[in-house]
Amino acid sequence: MHAANLSPVPHAGRTQSGWDLFLVFAAANIVATTLQVGASLGAGLSPGRLFLAVGIGSVVGAALVAALAPVGSRLGVPSMVAARAVLGHTGAHLVAAVLFLTNFAWIAVNNAIAASVAARMLPLPLDERTWALVVGLISTAVVAGGPLAVRRADRWAVPLMGVAGVAVTWVVLRLPAAPPPPAEAVALPLPLLLDIVIGYQVSWLLMFADYSRFTAKARTSGVAVFLGLALTAVWLMPLGWRLARHAGSADPGAMLAAADAGTAAAVLIVLATITTNFVNIYLSSLAWRSVVPAVGSGAAVWIVGLIGTGLGLTGGWLDRFAGFMTLVGSVLVPVGGVLLAHFVLRPRPVEIAALYDPHGPLAGIRWPGIVAWAAGVAMYYLMAGGATVPSLVAAIAAYLLLTRRLR
């Protein structure tokens, strides 16, 4: 299977184990941005409230992605192709565009964080811009080798990241008692905290079928995806919060330097960035080719990887992190609701040939899906805080109602 291949995977080709699928999602979530989410929850947060928000938010967000993962095992097609059953060929292009654009930002954010940490903590004479370039090029080259190359890289990178992560965890556990929060620190309300955590987890939603299509058993896919996302978030988000509290700063380089985490932390962040960008580059390449199939798979990977790497050489990404998470949640939570309603709550037979026929029964836009998605987005922005559940429910209810009336 070539990189960014949109063709359906035959049953005989769905040989990926649940362990390998778990590694893909675990590797994607073991990244500095997961620490950054914990750091962004605020210095005024009590430990009890932190664990409540992270525990509930991580599980709920992972469950949303995992509920859709079996679609890949059943259909054998990538997410952007499966979405055509819900939104139509043209409507699915909107989802592809969202994924295409937001993943550039993810690549840039990840590379900027890794470069900051590596330049400070690795004994190599490279500045931040050079590190950002190196990390981006390595990630792109591996993805260009196809899913098998990614799988092989994850098999050695994820265990190594696990060892480095344990070392960082040990450093955090040995930190002195956390100082009291600054007097001006304000604790965010629990609903808003859940929006942040769930929004981060569902940022992986649009890859629900891209890797699970290589795994034969639907149940195995769901369990592997859930554990890969939930376990890593529950582990790393509290670490990010504790490091930020100790350093008095949410800057990743400052957090790790203040804790004197050493080389282990730098290895963790650099490897985590590379493995996470495997997924980001792959998803954007699939999204692009789903809209413009004439683009070669290898060319799509290299163009996406190089653009994301170039953006990472610019500054200001961490300053925009919180606003970016809100934007991601507002778009992906409701589209996730529409997909859940179609594939899980009211499943229907899907003709694989129709998914690839731009002039067939799924041509154009399927308006129930688009309208329900828009209703969920509107609900998200109507809520002052705690918008995740209302947005999800609004999108699901609107889709079920519209499809019942328009059948």
Token reading at 170: 């040990």
The mean pLDDT value for 115-138 works out to 85
Main-chain phi, psi angles of 85, to 5 degrees: -65, -25
> What does pTM read for this prediction?
0.80
Amino acid at the residue 168: V
| In the block, residue with structure tokens 């004439």 | 294
Per mean pLDDT, which range of 106-115, 321-330, 353-362, 363-372 is the poorest? 321-330
Domains in the chain (CATH in brackets) are 13-178+185-315 (1.10.4160.10)
Per mean pLDDT, which range of 59-68, 183-192, 347-356 is the poorest? 183-192
Is the pLDDT at 388 greater than 60, yes or no? yes
Q: Is 136 helix (H, G, I), strand (E, B) or coil?
A: helix
Q: Which range has the top average pLDDT, 45-49, 180-184, 271-275, 333-337? A: 333-337
Q: What is the rounded CA–CA span in Å between residue 116 and residue 254?
A: 9
Among candidates 337, 330, 326, 277, which has minimal Cα distance to 301?
277
pLDDT tens-digit map of 187-240 = 778 888 888 898 889 888 878 898 899 999 999 999 999 999 999 999 999 999
pLDDT at 70: 96
Q: What is the rounded CA–CA span in Å between residue 392 and residue 380?
A: 9
Amino acid at the residue 359: H
340 contact partners, CB below 8 Å, separation of at least 6: 64, 67, 68, 396
Q: Is 386 helix (H, G, I), strand (E, B) or coil?
A: coil
pLDDT at 1: 46
Identify the band that residue 251 occupies on the pLDDT scale cut at 50, 70 and 90: confident
Q: Which range has the top average pLDDT, 196-210, 223-237, 332-346, 355-369? A: 223-237
pLDDT at 158: 77
pLDDT at 257: 78
- The helix (H) or strand (E) run that includes residue 132 is helix 128-144
Angle at 26 between CA 350 and CA 31, to 5 degrees: 120
Token reading at 122: 């690795």
pLDDT at 185: 65
Q: Is 343 helix (H, G, I), strand (E, B) or coil?
A: helix
Q: What is the DSSP letter of 7?
A: S
Amino acid at the residue 341: A
pLDDT tens-digit map of 397-406 = 999 999 985 5
Q: Is 46 helix (H, G, I), strand (E, B) or coil?
A: coil
Q: Is 405 helix (H, G, I), strand (E, B) or coil?
A: helix
pLDDT at 145: 84
Token reading at 258: 């203040």
pLDDT at 260: 80
pLDDT at 404: 82
pLDDT tens-digit map of 260-306 = 877 777 777 788 788 878 878 877 787 777 777 777 778 888 888 88
Identify the band that residue 86 occupies on the pLDDT scale cut at 50, 70 and 90: very high
